[in-house]
Chains A and B, each alone.
Chain A
Amino acid sequence: MTTYPIDIKVNGEWKQAEVTARETLLDALRNRLRAFEVKDGCSQGDCGACTVILAGRPVNACLTLAVQANGKEVTTLKGVGTSEQPDPLQKSFVEHGAIQCGFCTPGVVVSAKALLEANPCPNREEIREGISGNLCRCTGYTQIVEAIEDAAAQGRGGVGEREDA
């Protein structure tokens, strides 16, 4: 069985792992690098629970092979913000009740973060498009869209001040 050494920069820190070709990035992140904030929903690209930002773009970790991520930068939910130091986007999710069971949340927040980085002032249409690859079975999306809208408004010094951690 051939194994492949990979280097991935996870949330700013270079990590090494020895993986087989048949491991997905999702497997490697959860099982080898203990990044349990990356969720395994459908494992076939439909739900977006496993979304991470790979080389600047949100992708499904369940459809990416770990070997394909070699040498690249990965941002997971914890790279957006942690319980101790949440990103304004995460605070906005809490304030808007955009989290119910929470299973989709890591993926949605990562997609939303990537959206706001590329487009700091998205309109509703653009927000919906930005999270189009993320299914949420609880909230009905309304609160999620509002949370992102509000975080974007705060980011540009609109409603409320941005609290930089």
Chain B
Amino acid sequence: MGNTRILTREFEYVAPETMPELLALLDRHGPAATIIAGGTDVVPQLKYETISPDYLIDVTKIAELCTVRRDGTLHIGAAVKLRDVKAYCRDHEIYACLDDALGSIGQVQVVNMGTLGGNLCTASPAADAALALLVLEAQVRLIGSSGERIVALDAFFRGPKLTCMEPGEVLAEIQVPAVADHTGSAFRKIGRVAGDISKISCAVAVQSDGERCLSCRIGMGAVGPTPMRMPGVEQLLSGRAIDTDVMDEAADRLAADISPLTDARSTEFYRRRVSRVLFKDTFDQAWKRVQRQP
């Protein structure tokens, strides 16, 4: 690892207070500008010199990016701190998997600084909140000077560190649709030590009538280029009564469908083997949460 003590390059810092000002700045500076929110990914990147902007544009002073509201759909501003999202989820059990995911980020300081928008825009295959939002079928609202669009989260991620955002676009808010009745969700991850960045992560949202899985969404993290939905496994489980044989079959399918790599955090072999177990445990927890509901 290179230097972490100093930021070697000079750049300018701007903190616009309104969306129009922000969009104008992004248009004016083009690729010379980088957005900073909580800075927990951007500042290390500046230190390692993996990015070298001339302008750093802070989005955290824009009031509309910092609010949470709910009208059936939950709207979370991109610059809302992970800590505030976590506090919200604690009070609303329907977002249990997002609560689990935020609770799995070890460092209090990082949760205090980091934002939900930053966790998505970083586009890490191991981003925890991103995986939970994927199974909650979240959408993102992107705004650019030429208009805005809404994109489903699984179309937002394009690869490691790559999203569908065009130059000049900003992530404004994350929209979590209302969760159907009799749905339970959970998130689990395996790291080197508790609270570490994921070697493998899994999120599940399942709707059940007590015996059968009516429908489910399954997401796996750090086992492919982006946080991934597992449509093959989802279809396999839909409409089936859940027992150990069905779960074994689903776990086999899951291990076949993921595309893990060997990297600094883990090996392909380990990830494929352990994904089966992690998936079963996560599914089980989501399942238990549905059964607990009135």
Contact residues of A with B, CB < 8 Å? 1-2, 4, 20-24, 27, 40, 42-46, 48, 51, 57-60, 62-65, 67-68, 111, 129-133
Min C-beta distance of A156 to chain B, whole Å: 22
A161–B195 CA distance with the chains assembled, in angstroms: 36
Chain B residues with CB under 8 A of A43:
4-5, 47
| Residue B293 interfacial (CB < 8 Å) | no
Q: Which of A4, A22, A58, A64 contacts B7 (CB 8 A)?
A: A22
With A42-B4, A58-B112 as contacts: A24 and B43 at CB distance below 8 Å: yes
A48 touches B12 (CB 8 A): no
19 A–B contacts from the bound complex (CB under 8 Å): A21-B13, A22-B7, A23-B7, A43-B4, A43-B5, A45-B110, A46-B107, A48-B107, A58-B109, A60-B107, A60-B110, A60-B113, A63-B43, A63-B109, A64-B39, A132-B108, A132-B195, A133-B106, A133-B108
Q: Which of A42, A129, A133 contacts B109 (CB 8 A)?
A: A133
| Residue B151 interfacial (CB < 8 Å) | no
Chain B residues with CB under 8 A of A22:
6-11, 46
A118–B155 CA distance with the chains assembled, in angstroms: 39
With A58-B109, A133-B108 as contacts: A65 and B44 at CB distance below 8 Å: no
Given contacts A4-B13, A132-B107, 6 further A-B contacts (CB under 8 A): A20-B10, A21-B13, A44-B4, A59-B109, A67-B13, A133-B106
Chain B residues with CB under 8 A of A27:
6
Question: Which chain B residues numbered 92 to 146 have a C-beta less than 8 Å away from chain A?
Answer: 106-110, 112-113
Min C-beta distance of A19 to chain B, whole Å: 10
B109 touches A68 (CB 8 A): no
Min C-beta distance of B188 to chain A, whole Å: 17
Closest to B1 in A: A44
B113 touches A64 (CB 8 A): yes
| Residue B56 interfacial (CB < 8 Å) | yes
A62–B6 CA distance with the chains assembled, in angstroms: 9
Chain A residues with CB under 8 A of B11:
21-22
With A43-B47, A60-B113, A132-B108 as contacts: A65 and B39 at CB distance below 8 Å: yes
| Residue B40 interfacial (CB < 8 Å) | yes
A63 touches B44 (CB 8 A): yes
B13 touches A65 (CB 8 A): yes
Chain A residues with CB under 8 A of B112:
57-59
A68 touches B58 (CB 8 A): yes
A129 touches B58 (CB 8 A): no
Q: Which of B9, B12, B44, B106 contacts A44 (CB 8 A)?
A: B44
A4–B83 CA distance with the chains assembled, in angstroms: 29
B43-77 vs A, Cβ < 8 Å mask (1 yes, 0 no): 11011000000001010100000000000000000
A1 touches B109 (CB 8 A): no
Closest to A55 in B: B112
Chain A residues with CB under 8 A of B60:
68
Chain B residues with CB under 8 A of A48:
107, 109
Closest to A60 in B: B109
Min C-beta distance of B177 to chain A, whole Å: 30
A42–B2 CA distance with the chains assembled, in angstroms: 12
B113 touches A59 (CB 8 A): yes
Chain A residues with CB under 8 A of B194:
132
Q: Which of A40, A42, A58, A59: most chain B CB closer than 10 A?
A: A59
Chain B residues with CB under 8 A of A44:
1, 4, 44, 47
A51 touches B109 (CB 8 A): yes
With A24-B43, A65-B39 as contacts: A133 and B110 at CB distance below 8 Å: yes
